[in-house]
Amino acid sequence: MIQRYENLEAVSQAAAELFAARANVAVRDRGRFSVALAGGNTPRRAYELLAQKPLCDSVPWSQVHVFWGDERCVPPVDPRSNYRMAREAFLDRIPLLDSQIHPMRGVGDPDEAALEYERELRQFFADGQPRFDLVLLGMGDNAHTASLFPGLPVLEERTRWVSAVYIVELQMHRLTLTAPAINQAATVAFLVAGADKAQPLKEVLQGPRDPQRLPAQLVQPVDGELLWLVDKTAAARL
């Protein structure tokens, strides 16, 4: 489902409200809420809104567990860290225990860190599937999402939930949830804003299937809901 909004602020408000709504339903039905956060610049405002009234008072924080969709392999204090961004935007401003926050380890051997995170997910989702209640994703101007970049071997992954990748053009290792893990979620929501996203968004949604070039096309929940929260500039070519 594509939901169009006037600007990034409206997209952010909708994403924050979606987070709160899904959290309440999950806690009511299953006793806990699990979310995988997106990194990058687009979701920051949504996170800030979650830490402000009235939304912060509407979320059952004591039953929330926060994970990440991907992470740059940098120390947690590095400005490029997705964990640091989420901490600054909202995690340090809401009542969560450390045991409810599950960051990817951005230091040390990337392959070992990926295996470690997958073990943590398998322990958390003891029933055998990584059934996040909500996965938030962004999309780059090359149609990458999480750290699933065009042409990478991880795009062919079928069994692993977490993988280490190396982005040549950025000269950086990253950790990422794989498409099989993302696609087990109950709800997946893309947050897309900006004129530079208009052409890739059109190609992902309306073009021929080519996930090696357009990795965002890999996101197709098996038994869940897929939402696109987009601003009018990103949606201009739809």
User: pLDDT tens, 69-115?
Assistant: 999 999 999 999 999 999 999 999 999 999 999 999 999 999 999 99
pLDDT in tens, 118-140: 999 999 999 889 999 999 999 99
Chain position carrying tokens 């039905």: 29
- Model pLDDT, residue 127: 80
pLDDT > 90: percent of the chain: 98
- Model pLDDT, residue 85: 98
Per-residue pLDDT band at 61 (split at 50, 70, 90): very high
Answering whether pTM is above 0.85, one says: yes
- Model pLDDT, residue 126: 94
Phi, psi at 198, each rounded to 5°: -65, -50
| Long-range Cβ contact pairs of 49-57 (< 8 A, separation 24 or more) | 49/12, 49/13, 49/16, 50/16, 50/19, 50/20, 50/90, 50/94, 51/89, 51/90, 51/93, 51/94, 55/16, 55/17, 55/20, 56/93, 56/94
Tell me the pLDDT of the chain averaged across its residues: 97
Q: Domains (ranges, CATH) in the chain?
A: 2-231 (3.40.50.1360)
d(CA 37, CA 151): 24
User: Is there a contact between 138 and 82 (Cβ–Cβ < 8 Å)?
Assistant: no
